Structure 1
Amino acid sequence: MSNKFNFTDNKIRTVQPIADQKRGYYYDTKTAGLRLQVTASGTKSFQFQAWDAKRGRPATRTLGKYPAISINKARELALRAMTALSDGVDIENEAQRLRDEDTLDTVFERWLDQFAIPHKKSWPEDVRRYDLYIKKPLGNKRVSWFSAAKIRAWHNKITTMPKQRGEGTLTQSTANRALALLSTVFNQSLPEIPNPCRSVKKFHEESRDRFLQPDELKRFFEALLHDDTPETLRDYVLISLFTGARRSNNLSMMWNEISFERGVWIIPAKKSKNGSTMVVPLVEEALEILQKRKQQTRSVFVFPGSGKTGHYLEPKRAWKSLITRANLQDIRLHDLRRTMGSWQTMTGASSTIVGKTLGHKSPEATAVYARLNLDPVRTSMAVAVKAMLANQLTSEKIKLIREVEKS
């Protein structure tokens, strides 16, 4: 066979290693500069080779192995290489630069070390999100590979992926959170290049406003106080409801953060999402639960656990079982926090009081919060709790249940 012919799959498949030669070369008659290298072991690779007039020597670039790279793709890459060579680009050094270029995995690890871990309390959640939605499809890609079109395709594809638990596919909100993380990594770790995420439009999200309604609270409390509900789950849910605090803070609540004398829970700045120390008033019902738990444990955590953290972990299965028994739909643990704020509003609290309760921090409200006394916040929370309990469960019933548990 001549070493020059029109490349087709049939002809390339018949090409054999040349006896007594480490490599043999065959040239495409259709595309200038495109050649096929065949090693003594039979490995076939496409290459581009042409005269580099600027440097006065032949320039060679490997395009990829056959058949992983198709003939059409090899021809496309060869034409690009010829254009770059004509423009004066050193295609050999450029190829080496691309081989040495960081992958997204490398960039993400650098971002974690330099930006996330030193400055973000939620960096473990970033790692979890990266591992679930970004690492497998994009982690091994070089930085120059990324474009808005490729990221847009990945962003869309997330919504077709099955959920880790349960039926259905991942939500548009999940895709948006993954896109936001990827964009942050590019912005902070690679500020010298245009962010390829910038022109990718997020999916529209409806603001979630779900909270427990009066008729739902009755079923909710009945299920919560049922014998099938574990005591730790019951206490955790009630504390979450009565404080309006974030899940991470409730789960990691420690006894040295509780002042029974002042009736407050002091969340240190290092555990607070807004970066400031939070003082959460504890209503009577919450204090009763905490006092009971304090007598029953030696752990530093209010809700101890057997895992690495030492504290209770989010009870997803137990929560799902609870809301199923209560015949409730679309209620999440985070909605307990929204329930406190909503019932405060329903019982006459101002937005400033609600914001102080939930630890919201905005430029407009910061000055007001700094001057705000905790007494009206505690009063508002107490009124909201009484209103919630009035739907089914009275404070006296809670006390009676506690006394039965102690006996």
Structure 2
Amino acid sequence: MKGFGLKVTETGAKSYIYQYRIGGRGSPTRRYTIGQHGSPWTPTTARTEAERLARLVGQGFDVVAQRQENERKSVSLAMPAYVEAFITNYLTTQWKDEADGAATLRKHVVPVLKSKSFPSLTRSDITAVIDKIPAGQMATRRKVFAILRKMIRWGIGRGDMPQQDNPLVGFEAPPAPASRDRTLTDGELVLAWNAADDLGYPFGPMVRLLIALGQRREETSAMEWNELDAASGVWTIPAAKSKNGKAHIVPLNDVALAVIDGLAGCADSAKSANSANSARRWPKRGLLFSTTGKTPASGYSKAKARLDKLMVDAEAKRAKETGDSAELIDAWRLHDLRRTMATGLQRLGVRFEVTEAVLNHVGGSKAGVAGVYQRHDWKEEKRDALQAWGRFLEQLAAGEPEQSNVVHLAARG
């Protein structure tokens, strides 16, 4: 057969080849390697393959170029590269927390699937990813599953995987984690606040703002200076960053203002947002919590472990100095600070609707028909509630039930 042959190297290795030209006698010869002699390539099977290639060439196809394109595409469809393509082309524009989504894929998906090709993903592969996450981290399992589901849908829409090969068809999502009701005690809250001071930047002041304002971790960690209005003492969380997709106005209490002033380097951190003499000069752009200057700080788990140890050590020191038994600090999460503030507002007599408004929580008083017709923004009520919470925190640190002789938390040390 014209163009079909056997290539033998100096070492004795034998490979079947097919040579051809595209474009006539003047065009260069192209050589297509069919495969090494042996199973499955014998003279008969290799000749059959060469005949198939000859028919394609006769129809104008450059089979070498086609193979190179297929090889290039197979590399881009390998999971590490495909994950990065998904992050670049989808998460950066369509996902509310692109940094968290990207970190989740790189941490939980890529190490398990390694160089697996995206179109060849199976239900067993998805199971392997989910099972690798500890059973106690149900929220993480659900987040990984949700991002994988979006990536697979995105890939199918692009034509990178046939619809009928979707490995998630019939695959049940991991169950929702059990509802938590953990709140920090008053003593734990003071321990967390003081330990945050020793934790340092960026997580120390971030934890303090989580305590002072009760907003979501992802929203707080991504806080930017241009979202803050120093004159009115307000933080506006854009809809694009808000979990429920609704812009959220957060009045800053004096405790939060002191933390932010510290980050900005303001000399007078005790001025109230309502003070007529307030003349804060905060930066106009950039992230408040970042080690790179470009992305929000990451590494919450390590920072939280350090915070826990600082709290335990501080409690042990207190017990030793007073002769009391050290209080056991049960496991808690940063999200529990949000629940702690909500519970605290109820203790302070704040209306349920106002508490929900402070948390930007769609549910309860905002659900259903009430949510459609209730357009009051609760701005002033939210300010009063958060100021009351700030005073409560200051009183906790002072150890006094009354507001006199208050020791400001920000003044510690």
Task: Give TM class, smaller chain.
Answer: 0.5 to 0.7
Shift of 1:385: 4.7
Look up the match of 1:183. 149
Give 3-state SS (helix, strand or coil) of 1:371's partner.
coil
Contact preservation (8 Å) 2:228, 2:236: yes
Task: Give the conservation status (yes or no) of the 8 Å contact 2:394–2:407.
Answer: no
Q: Quick one: which amino acid aligns to residue 309 of structure 1?
A: K
Secondary structure of the equivalent of 1:209?
coil
Percent identical pairs in the alignment equals 17
> Helix, strand or coil for the counterpart of 1:58?
helix
Cα deviation, 1:113-171, whole Å, max 9, x if unaligned, reads 33221222312222212222211332422344222244224422x136xxxxxxxx873
State the Cα distance separating 1:280 from its structure 2 match.
0.2
Which residue number corresponds to residue 209 of structure 1?
A: 180
Structure 1 residues 237 and 304: alpha-carbon distance in aligned structure 2, compared to 1, 3 A threshold: closer
In the alignment, residue 304 of structure 2 is paired with which amino acid? K
Alignment correspondent of 1:78: none
Counterpart of 1:124 in structure 2: which amino acid? A
CA deviation vs aligned residue, 1:58-93 (integer Å, no higher than 9, x gap): 359xxxxxxxxxxxxxxxxxxxxxxxxxxxxxxx9x
In structure 2, stretches of 5+ residues that fail to align are: 1-7, 17-34, 51-62, 268-280, 316-327
Partner residue in 2 for 1:33: none
1:23 aligns with 2:14: yes
Question: Aligned partner of 1:58: which letter?
Answer: T
Counterpart in 2 of 1:121?
Answer: 96
The answer (yes or no) to whether the contact 1:103–1:141 under 8 Å persists in 2 is yes
Does the Cα contact within 8 Å between 1:223 and 1:229 map onto a contact in 2? no
Partner of 1:81: none
Higher RCO structure, 1 or 2 (CA under 8 Å, sep 6+): 2
User: What letter is aligned with 2:308?
Assistant: K
Which residue matches 1:86? none
Change (3 A) 1:401 1:155: closer
Tell me the CA shift for residue 351 of structure 1: 4.7
Shift of 1:185: 0.6
Q: Is the CA contact 2:99–2:295 (under 8 Å) kept in the aligned structure 1?
A: no
TM-score of the superposed pair, with normalisation by structure 1: 0.63
Among candidates 240, 265, 287, match of residue 257 of structure 2: 287
- The equivalent of 1:263 in structure 2 is 233
CA, structure 1 residues 139+289, in 2 after alignment: closer, same or farther (shift >3 Å)? closer
Question: Which residue in the other structure is 2:356 paired with?
Answer: 355
* 2:367 pairs with 1:379: no
**1:280 aligns to what SS in structure 2?**
strand
User: Per the alignment, do residues 180 and 404 of structure 1 end up closer, same or farther by CA in structure 2, a change over 3 Å counting?
Assistant: closer
Trace 1:165-244 onto structure 2 (pairs within 5 A). Answer: 171-191=137-157, 192-194=162-164, 195-213=166-184, 216-222=185-191, 224-225=193-194, 229=198, 235-244=205-214
SS in 1 for 2:343: helix
Which residue does the alignment assign to 1:272?
Answer: 242
Given that 1:259 and 1:265 are in contact with CA atoms closer than 8 Å, whether structure 2 keeps it comes out as: yes
For residue 316 of structure 1, the aligned residue among 288, 300, 304 is 304
Q: Per-residue CA shift, 1:270-317, capped at 9, x if unaligned?
A: 443444432102224333444465414976668565534387665435
2:397–2:407 contact (8 Å) kept in structure 1: no
Q: How far has the Cα of 1:241 moved from its partner?
A: 1.3
CA distance in 2, matches of 1:312, 1:108: 21
What is the Cα deviation at residue 388 of structure 1? Answer: 5.7
Cα 1:207–1:226 shift into 2, 3 Å: closer
Distance 1:183 1:283, change over 3 A: same
Please report how far the alpha carbon of residue 375 of structure 1 lies from its aligned counterpart in structure 2 after TM superposition: 1.9
Structure 2 residue 48 is the aligned partner of structure 1 residue 58:
yes
TM-score norm. by structure 2 comes to: 0.62
| Cα shift readout 1:241-265 (whole Å, capped 9, x = no counterpart) | 1211222333343444333443322
Sort the Cα spacing of 1:139 and 1:185 in 2 relative to 1 into closer, same or farther, 3 A: farther
- Match of residue 60 from structure 2: none
1:182 and 1:197 in contact (8 A); partners too = no
Aligned length: 328
